[in-house]
Amino acid sequence: MQSSLQATTGQNGLPSEPRRSDDELITRARSILRWKIRYNEVRVAARDGHVILSGHVFSDLDREVAEHTIRKMTGVVTLTNRIVTTSPLIFKQHCGMTPRPHKRGSS
């Protein structure tokens, strides 16, 4: 079985930390985000260590936590944060999950 870690050389010519495969970065980032911000509407993509976060969260704090957390992961070279902060009501309407009006029964 071949490891998904790849040896890289640092600026000084000495070996640096191993680089993780893009698939492994995506899997780890999704897992961490589900635990850290407990929200599954964030998508993760990666190519050559460049990670792109996109999707919706309900607060600026969740957006910042997602970026900060993934940026520190081993193997992340650069990060682009395209996460949008959306109110829960607008998000539910966008997904077709608008609450139905409560029907009152006749007495």
Identify the pLDDT of residue 31: 93
Residue 67: give the domain boundaries: 17-94
* 90 falls within a domain: yes
Identify the pLDDT of residue 86: 84
33 touches 70 (CB < 8 A): yes
* 100 falls within a domain: no
* 3 falls within a domain: no
* 58 falls within a domain: yes
Dist CA 25 CA 21 (whole Å): 6
* 81 falls within a domain: yes
* 8 falls within a domain: no
pLDDT digits (tens, 9 = 90+) for 36-55: 887 668 999 999 999 999 99
The count of C-alpha atoms lying within 13 angstroms of the C-alpha of 8, restricted to the half-sphere facing its C-beta, is 16
Dist CA 42 CA 70 (whole Å): 12
Dist CA 99 CA 58 (whole Å): 18
**pLDDT band, very low/low/confident/very high, at 58 (cuts 50, 70, 90):** confident
Is 50 exceeded by the pLDDT of residue 57?
yes
* 48 falls within a domain: yes
pLDDT digits (tens, 9 = 90+) for 87-101: 766 555 555 554 445
Closest CA to 29 of 3, 58, 68, 57: 68
